[in-house]
A and B are shown apart, each in its own frame.
Chain A
Amino acid sequence: MTTAQSTAQSFFSRRFGRFLDRRIPPSAQITLSQRNVFIFPTQTGFVFGGLLVLLILGAINYQASLVYGVAFLLGSMFLMTILYTFRNLSGLKLELINTRPGFVGEDIEFTLRVVRPTGRGREGVQLGWPDGIKQWAELYEQEADSVRLYVVGAERGFLNPGRLLIETYFPLGLLRAWTWVDLDARALVYPKPIFQDFPLMEQGRRDEGELMDPQGSDDFTDIRDYQPGDPIKHIIWRSYARTDELMVKRYASFVEPRLWLDMDSVQGALEERLSRLTGLALQATRREREFGLRLGELELKPAVGEAHLENVLRQLALYGITTR
């Protein structure tokens, strides 16, 4: 393709994009009508037209009235299918009801709900994002259908799959009615995780570790004043006899202190670092380890659990990306 061609093409596609934005503005819910449904013959439709021309030529040369009849019947049928094809989309209500985030390289799931008006059923309604596989919506017997569509997450951040294509070739495949709607769909794409050896000894500061299981440990740490609740067998009776003060010996082991996931603690370029942190966060959650996250000035307090993980992944996904 020459440059001029591609320039022209991109010019027209930009023009078309702007036209669509004006004609069908982004909206979370949209109802299809003659305002936003386009209709045009398919390739098959044009071949069908060619067939009609052949039939009419045959009818002229053979002066056969019924060959004219067949040509006219088929032509008239073609005309009537315009109504069928258009009606098949008209009145459909589309709504994005759910998205499920995923990692880069994975299929990101969007769940859409298609509702038809009561009355006659719709057939062969297909939906799809430009980069995904099309799905059929079953709207003949039921009045509403949920359709799950998947798009591969190419990069971290918000994935906007673009305008959604809704099309139908019903009833004869000679015409295509379609529209591109912008449901303002966004789904979060987390960095692709890179897994590495999970750090056994961590670089966290010692004093921030949590004292665990004081009773079961036998590493002596220090001595301090007795406080109610201290085990009696830890009281240093010799010292009490001498000073009349109740002192207790403290035994403890710092169970691995809280884990901090930090940009500086991993190697590589920015994206690689984010990927490694993602991997660590996943590993930590699987081991039910508490961890915190530090990204520049952002700091998430250490915690454990799915909700925390989601929060962490969200920050990793959006790091350095200005959100709308």
Chain B
Amino acid sequence: MESPPDSKALGVAYQIPRNSLALLMIAQVVVVVPYALQLSPWIIGVGLFCGYWRTAVFQGRWDYPHRWVKAMLVGASVVGVAVSGVGAFSLESAASLLILAFALKLIEMKSRRDAYLVIFLGYFAIATQFLFDQSIAIAAYELLAICVVTSAMVGLNQLHTRVRPGVSFRLASTLVLQALPFTIVLFLFFPRIAPLWTVPLPSVAKTGISDVVKPGAIAALTQSDELAFRVVFNGRIPVPRDLYWRGLVYSDFDAGTWSVAAELPPMSKERMPEPTSGGISYEVLLEPTMSDWLFAMDTAFAQSPQVSLSQDYRLRSTDPVLSVFRYPVNSYPGFVMDPVLSRRLLTRETRIDRSDNPRIVAFARDLYARSGNAEEFAVGVLKHIREQPFGYTLNPPQLQDEGSVDQFWFDTRAGFCTHYASAFVYMMRAVDVPARMVGGYQGGEINPITNHLMVRQYDAHAWAEIWVPEKGWLRVDPTAAVAPERIESGLTAALSVADLATLSAFTNARLGDWSVFNDMLYWVDSMEHRWNLWVIGYDTHFQSGFLKRMLGELTPVRMGLVILIGGGLSVGLVSLTLFWRRRPQKRHPVERLFGKFAAKLAGYGIRREPQESPGVFIRRVAAEAGLKEDQVGRIVAEIDGLLYNPTVPSESVELSQLRRRLRWLQFRLAFGSAR
């Protein structure tokens, strides 16, 4: 026999069903909308306009775009992305192009093949959204978006004369729901590996901290209440004044600007062994910063292979932090950083251009001459700040590039942490005491629900470190001298009424005493925290930890086996729902009861003839056993009454009464036959 030809030879309906088309247009809007937060508005506009165009084509009001119109749209879009200011190789430009391709493909879509392309682009756009934001809210939204896109795909394969979009959506949602168990299995057990190559990053840094600080330039510090990181302590949470989250070290000063010095090779873990006692153990869940700075308390040691220790005792991540990054840390407050300072660092940490700010250099030399040593000199400077009319404000007057330190110290005398830290370090260096500015966060708020510490962008802080032989680097916070409340109880305590007014209403509400609102925020925060712990922060490191606890030793065979078993169970579960057929109607409860009774009697050798009805059988055996008619007549009447009543519930008073009577009869018959 000749083999059947390929099915492609058979005509396949290639048109897109109207039902699927409608769903595709809905899907387009659903997918594009969340990008409004990341991409320029015109891209969203183009996306929605294309959706409108396609709807008009669908309704027969407009025509498909002409070929040259399409070419023009594509050209204009690419040029638009190129000139829109985001970096050419940034994640934003890639996402912009993706959204534009998705939108433009939609208007020219005619065949099924086009529809599948649009659907796949839709899935891709949904996944790309997670590179910008992985919060619970976005995750829930995108799950819905996946259902909508999937329903368009379902619609392509349903009989289009019958099906309405709602039907396709319901089926798609069921499918997504049924896919969830195996998704979880894969999520937990699919091996996570380290990045293979570098990828375009989002161009916007999210953090309120940067590697360049210019105290005079910022008129007002942005006070965002965005979360910087959460910390889970394994023991007690230290008091607020000890919570200095060190992240950046600024060693270079030039023209009023502090910047992070050129990179030195990281410290080797062999040369710098971790102390064995006196540590504070905790885990940090850092929100994406798009950079490699990590924040921890002094002096931090992290055993994770993805974290390294720099020569200025900062923790660094091996890759930029693009999504929530978890790292466990042990901090040793008593550890001496650099008991001996290398010549190279000595030069680096004392280098300033003294000619820039001659007044403060003279002031420092004078005070140092009276103090005698570095530590006493530092105390003297703090005393000076405390005693002189220095003020703490978030809205300081602007300073010139040249002589900015002089200007601050002698003229304006108002500023926030970086002004004080900068002036302090400058004075130290002016008398050749090694000193540097440190940036990071200070303090934090405890969430009573999950008992973790929340550190927000408005907790950003800068302080100073001076080096003293044998004692190493010592932390000095000049801000504490001008506004001790800032360190003891957080930002608001240190702020004037005028400063508070500049904060957003939301931040004020958060900082205020409105407890219902705060409780709600705590609850939301703890949900996000759990989400970060179990979903977003579930990376290579934590997967191996979790799997070792679950499976013991990790071998590829074991992992594969777990995934296979998980897959089998999930498929089995779904096939149950798909292939399960309702079993035939249950037997009548009285029949079941009588069946058991007859079986018991058969055990005593009393057999029921096939043609005998329950009543007839009972009368016969009762007569054979010599029982009287009035003793069994009631049972027979009851059985017959119940047997022909189709609505007997499986548990009822009558039924249990009958059960008792049958048991009595069974006993009598057994006793009788034994005799």
By a beta-carbon cutoff of 8 Å, the part of chain A in contact with chain B is 12-14, 16-18, 20-21, 44, 47-48, 51, 54-55, 57-77, 79-84, 87, 119-120, 123-124, 128, 130, 132-134, 136, 138, 140-141, 162-163, 165, 167, 169-173, 176, 178, 180
Contacts and interface: CB of A to CB of B under 8 A. Distances in A.
Contacts of A172: 150, 153-154, 157, 175
A88 to B, nearest CB: 10
B139 A173 contact: no
A170 B158 contact: yes
Contacts, number: 195
Contacts of A171: 153-154, 157-158, 171, 175
B178 interface: yes
Contact of B157 (A74, A124, A141): A124
B4 A165 contact: yes
B550 interface: no
B124 A51 contact: yes
A93 to B, nearest CB: 16
30 contacts: A14-B2, A17-B1, A17-B2, A17-B3, A47-B116, A55-B124, A58-B199, A60-B192, A61-B196, A61-B199, A63-B319, A65-B134, A66-B139, A69-B139, A72-B182, A73-B179, A73-B183, A76-B180, A76-B183, A76-B186, A79-B179, A80-B178, A124-B157, A140-B162, A141-B162, A162-B2, A171-B158, A172-B150, A172-B154, A173-B112
A60 B176 contact: no
A60 B134 contact: no
A8 B181 CA distance: 45
A58 B159 contact: no
Given A64-B131, A73-B180, A13 B538 contact: no
B120 interface: yes
A68 B131 contact: no
B290 to A, nearest CB: 11
Interface string B654-673: 00000000000000000000
Given A44-B116, A55-B124, A73-B146, A123 B130 contact: no
A57 B193 CA distance: 10
Nearest to A81: B175
Contacts of A60: 192-196
A157 B289 CA distance: 79
Contacts of B268: none
A61 B323 contact: no
A163 B116 CA distance: 30
Nearest to B5: A130
Contacts of A63: 195, 319, 322-323, 539
Given A47-B120, A80-B574, A134-B12, A66 B536 contact: yes
B10 interface: yes
Interface string B145-169: 0100010011011110011000000
A58 B157 contact: no
Nearest to B182: A76
A37 B194 CA distance: 42
A67 B159 contact: no
A119 B3 CA distance: 34
B10 A133 contact: yes
B282 interface: no
A310 to B, nearest CB: 30
Nearest to A73: B183
Given A84-B578, A133-B10, A79 B571 contact: yes
Given A66-B130, A82-B571, 5 more contacts: A60-B196, A76-B181, A83-B579, A84-B578, A134-B13
Contact of B538 (A16, A65, A83, A128): A65
Given A66-B536, A80-B574, A134 B2 contact: no
A165 B176 CA distance: 30
Interface in B539-578: 539, 567, 570-571, 574-575, 578
B89 interface: no
Contacts of A12: 3
Contacts of B181: 76
B410 interface: no
Among A12, A17, A134, A171, residue most surrounded by chain B Cβ atoms (within 10 Å) = A171
